[in-house]
Amino acid sequence: MANLMKPEVLRLYKRIMRLSQTWNSINPSNTGEERRFIKDEARTWFQRNKQVDNIQQIKDHIQEAEARLEMALHYKNPHPRPINLPPKTYTANQGKKIGTAQQRLRDQSRPVYIKSIDTESGFRKSD
């Protein structure tokens, strides 16, 4: 069943690899480094997720990759952007257990483009 998604995954991978060849950094001295980062990041994540066979998980990973790609193009920065928490989700007692309402707000605030590097999202297990 996951084979149905294979052409879409390959198109995305090719698109990212082409971008890594033509990427131009805002600071020209960083262009080579950022091109390597894009290529290495794509290889790492596609390799890490090659065993995923659940269609919905594959779609989620594709959505995340496309979001990161669009953000990189828009902001001219290939690195993932930090998470912005909504109001009232940060308290002075961060060391203590947070309530379910606060946890729900935090979960909803996690953008799709950061899930693979976010250990709390469930996409990546803690190392």
For residue 3, what are its two tokens?
A: 């084979």
Q: Is the pTM of this model over 0.85?
A: no
| pLDDT tens for each residue of 4-40 | 899 999 999 999 999 999 999 999 999 999 999 999 9
Question: Which residues span the domain enclosing 38?
Answer: 2-89+97-115
Residue 118: band (very low, low, confident or very high) from pLDDT cuts 50, 70, 90: low
Q: Does a structural domain hold residue 126?
A: no
pLDDT score recorded for residue 116: 73
Q: Does a structural domain hold residue 120?
A: no
Q: Environment class of residue 111 by beta-carbon count within 10 Å: exposed (0-12), middle (13-18) or buried (19+)?
A: middle
Q: Does a structural domain hold residue 127?
A: no
pLDDT score recorded for residue 25: 94
For residue 68, what are its two tokens?
A: 């990161």
Q: Does a structural domain hold residue 121?
A: no
Q: Does a structural domain hold residue 109?
A: yes
Residue 112: band (very low, low, confident or very high) from pLDDT cuts 50, 70, 90: confident
DSSP H helical ranges for 23-54: 31-48
**Dist. CA 47–CA 35, nearest whole Å:** 18
Q: Does a structural domain hold residue 78?
A: yes
| pLDDT tens for each residue of 49-77 | 999 999 999 999 999 999 899 989 998 99
Q: Does a structural domain hold residue 124?
A: no
- Please state at what angle helix 6-22 crosses helix 55-75, rounded to 10 degrees: 20
Q: Are 83 and 31 in contact (CB under 8 A)?
A: no
The domain tally of the chain equals 1
